[in-house]
């Protein structure tokens, strides 16, 4: 007789899932509007990039909640397998979509594409699917991304790194040790956001000075920024899950969603004259406001059928939307650059259409690909037969 054992998933924080979806939709809008922005100072949804830092706080909190008390029932390899099954299928889908659309449209917007042979696209596809960051010298688009086929995967690279740190080392930290680690990580956030440049790595950050923008390519500056953006948010989320001091709000999902939206669409603070003010705003958002939103979301309840359904949909769509939308944005960028004289209505129509197409594509990928694949992987690699 054969029996099976499986460490079942814990009940989810529905509001946190919903907030992840809200932030993911802002990311899509941010990227679409970024096409028409003249640099970080003038971005239309100016702080949309901070959604990544918010995602890291959410991830750290959920990882601590889901796994901290389970290490006596699973191995480190079991943990890695669970994380791979959860994250990697959609990562592969995002890369494959990027490869499929790489040559689609007018390639003159990205000059390197015209000189990229098929075998190099195939190589970048394999590297992307394996989550192996590409060197700057291997770039095939011109943006120095870790994955030229699907830029947002850079944040997943850092998420994987955080999972490795957690599983091998930081899960063993006491609350006090973790608190010290988080406090030191906060110093890095302050260093980058205020452009203090303690380690001399930010000298060439002219356009993005006094922001937390960066982390998507393999040079010393970007690696430092990426590591900085990861450490405090992710492990602050982990610390919050261990402290477990939550705040309950009536209509918590809607209030927390409003707070997230306001933070992420806030205009540039201080302009080009008092740039330090923008850095201070980002420090406040990442060090204090995002953790506060997470403990309010985790402490509140969702009531009402409509609210529950909304949180469920936003939660389901959040990761697929984030990891599949950018190949469509590349196409929008190419079209906008090659049709600067097109009517404003055409630009608006295209951007709105791609926004909703991104949501539809993500939902289709979730239902037709991600859920069936993850279920198959669960049955074959996570359930132990005895």
Q: What is the pLDDT of residue 104?
A: 77
Confidence class for position 3, pLDDT limits 50, 70, 90: very low
Element (H, E) at 5: strand 4-5
Q: Is 80 exceeded by the pLDDT of residue 209?
A: yes
Burial class from Cβ neighbours inside 10 Å (0-12, 13-18, 19+) for residue 95 reads buried
pLDDT at 105: 62
pLDDT at residue number 78: 95
The total of structural domains in the chain comes to 1
The domain in which residue 272 lies consists of 4-385
> What pLDDT does residue 2 have?
45
* Percent of the chain's residues with pLDDT above 70: 96
With 70 as the cut, is the pLDDT of residue 357 above it? yes
pLDDT digits (tens, 9 = 90+) for 363-380: 999 999 999 999 999 999
**CA atoms of 170 and 172, how far apart (whole Å):** 5
**Two structure tokens written together for 327:** 């190949």
Residues contacting residue 1 through CB under 8 Å, at least 6 positions apart: none
Q: What is the pLDDT of residues 158-188, one digit of tens each?
A: 999 999 999 999 999 999 999 999 999 999 9
Question: Taking the mean position of all CA atoms in its chain, how far away is CA 327?
Answer: 15
CA distances for 304 relative to 18, 293, 312, 313, 362, angstroms: 14, 21, 12, 14, 26
Residues 93-147 have pLDDT tens digits of 999 999 999 987 666 678 888 889 999 999 999 999 999 999 999 999 989 999 9
pLDDT at 386: 59
- Cβ atoms of 167 and 80 within 8 Å: the answer is yes
Comparing 146-160, 211-225, 313-327, 330-344, which segment has the lowest mean pLDDT?
Answer: 330-344
């Amino acid at each position: 007789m054969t029996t099976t054992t499986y460490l079942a998933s814990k009940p989810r924080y529905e509001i946190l899932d919903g907030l992840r979806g809200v932030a993911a939709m802002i990311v899509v809008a941010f990227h679409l509007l970024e096409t028409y922005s003249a640099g970080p100072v003038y971005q239309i949804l100016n702080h949309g990039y901070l959604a990544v830092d918010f995602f890291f706080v959410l991830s750290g909190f959920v990882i601590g909640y889901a796994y901290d008390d389970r290490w006596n029932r699973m191995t480190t390899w079991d943990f890695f397998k669970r994380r791979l099954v959860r994250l990697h299928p959609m990562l592969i889908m995002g890369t494959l979509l990027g490869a499929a659309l790489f040559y689609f449209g007018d390639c003159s917007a990205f000059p390197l594409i015209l000189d990229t042979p098929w075998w190099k696209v195939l190589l970048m596809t394999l590297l992307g699917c394996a989550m192996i960051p590409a060197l700057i010298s291997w770039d095939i688009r011109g943006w120095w991304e870790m994955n030229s086929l699907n830029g947002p995967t850079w944040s997943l690279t850092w998420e994987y790194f955080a999972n490795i740190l957690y599983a091998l080392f930081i899960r063993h930290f006491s609350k006090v040790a973790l608190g010290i680690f988080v406090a030191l990580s906060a110093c890095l956030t302050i260093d980058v956001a205020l452009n203090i440049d303690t380690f001399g790595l930010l000298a060439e950050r002219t356009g993005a000075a006094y922001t937390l923008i960066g982390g998507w390519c393999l040079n010393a500056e970007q690696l430092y920024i990426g590591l900085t953006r990861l450490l405090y948010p992710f492990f602050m989320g982990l610390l919050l899950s261990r402290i477990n001091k939550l705040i309950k709000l009536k209509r918590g999902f809607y209030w927390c969603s409003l707070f997230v939206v306001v933070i992420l669409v806030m205009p540039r603070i201080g302009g080009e004259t008092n740039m330090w003010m923008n850095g201070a705003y980002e420090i406040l958002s990442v060090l204090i406001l995002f953790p506060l939103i997470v403990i309010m979301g985790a402490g509140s309840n969702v009531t009402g059928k409509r609210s529950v359904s909304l949180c469920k949909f936003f939660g389901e769509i959040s990761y697929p939307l984030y990891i599949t939308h950018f190949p469509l944005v590349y196409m929008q960028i190419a079209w906008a650059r090659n049709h600067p004289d097109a009517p404003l209505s055409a630009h608006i129509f295209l951007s709105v259409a791609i926004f909703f197409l991104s949501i539809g594509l993500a939902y289709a990928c979730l239902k037709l690909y991600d859920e069936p694949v993850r279920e198959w992987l669960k049955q074959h690699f996570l359930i132990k037969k005895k």
